[in-house]
Amino acid sequence: MSFGPLNIAFAMGKFDGLLGLGFKSISQYNIPTPFETMIDQKLISEPLFGFYLPKDASQKGELILGGIDKSHYTGDFVKVPLTSETYWEVALDGLKYGDSSLVSNQKAIIDSGTSLLAGPTDAVAQIAKAAGATSLMGKEYVVDCSKLSSLPNLEVTLGGHSFTLTPDDYIINMQGECLFAFTGLDVPAPRGPLWIMGDIFMRKYYCVFDYGNKQMQIAPAATKAADSSEQIMI
């Protein structure tokens, strides 16, 4: 599902490679993806997969192919229909930072292969300015760690449903340096402009990629899940 460029947060992670979990329409030569092949060969019980990405570094993440782990979320799922069978794209009805409404009637993708929150460069720069963040190597931003308590929430509306990210969600403390978890990415038309709800969003919300019903199912992630392990379950 990777879409965004490698960045500091992603480069610091430990990984073996990328597994494409989008749709075959964006694969080379329109070749079915591994997940679509699993569905066609009836290797999984349900045509969906669920991602759990914990905030606590002592825990490990989990990808379940063909099911949902109820221990990884709280409350009820909201269902957000897809607007395109390319990436896992949904309608971005609005994006509000504090009292400022910055985006309306655009689109976003939910993407585990992007570490941060990515969006059009001008809009990200506007958010960074409002937060008092400074540019780091012209791509990412840092903020003064002592000012975190004064930062506002980010409100994202996807398919008519509102999702909240607090400063605790979108600030990454890296050994005393606070990374402002936004990065500019200008996707040209017709695919763009586009926002990417990467791992920062997926750590706050348990995301189920419902291939069968062409929708996302999203619920608040459990703050601590029992017996979490880094694995692919089928």
2: in domain? no
Distance of alpha carbon 152 from alpha carbon 59, whole angstroms: 28
Give pLDDT, residue 105.
87
As given in the structure block, the two tokens for residue 63 are 């990808």
181: in domain? yes
Give pLDDT, residue 232.
47
Q: How many CB atoms lie within 10 A of CB 81?
A: 14
Distance of alpha carbon 144 from alpha carbon 155, whole angstroms: 22
Give pLDDT, residue 127.
95
Give the total number of structural domains in the chain. 1
Give pLDDT, residue 14.
62
Give pLDDT, residue 139.
73
Question: Of 49, 199, 190, which is closest to residue 116 (Cα–Cα)?
Answer: 199
1: in domain? no
CATH number of the CATH domain containing 192: 2.40.70.10
As given in the structure block, the two tokens for residue 49 are 């997969």
Q: What is the mean pLDDT of each run of 10 residues along the chain (234 residues)?
A: 46 66 86 92 95 85 94 96 95 94 90 93 94 84 93 97 97 90 91 93 97 97 60 46
User: Helix/strand/coil (H, E, C) string of the chain?
Assistant: CCCCCCCHHHHCCCCCCCCCCCCHHHCHHHCCCHHHHHHHCCCCCCCEEEEECCCCCCCCCEEEECCCCHHHECCCCEEEEEEEECCEEEEEEEEEECCEEEEEEEEEEECCCCCCEEECHHHHHHHHHHHCCEEECCCEEEECHHHHHHCCCEEEEECCEEEEECHHHHEEEECCEEEECEEECCCCCCCCCEEEECHHHHHHEEEEEECCCCEEEEEEECCCCCCCCCEEEC
Range of 86's domain? 8-233
Give pLDDT, residue 50.
96
157: in domain? yes
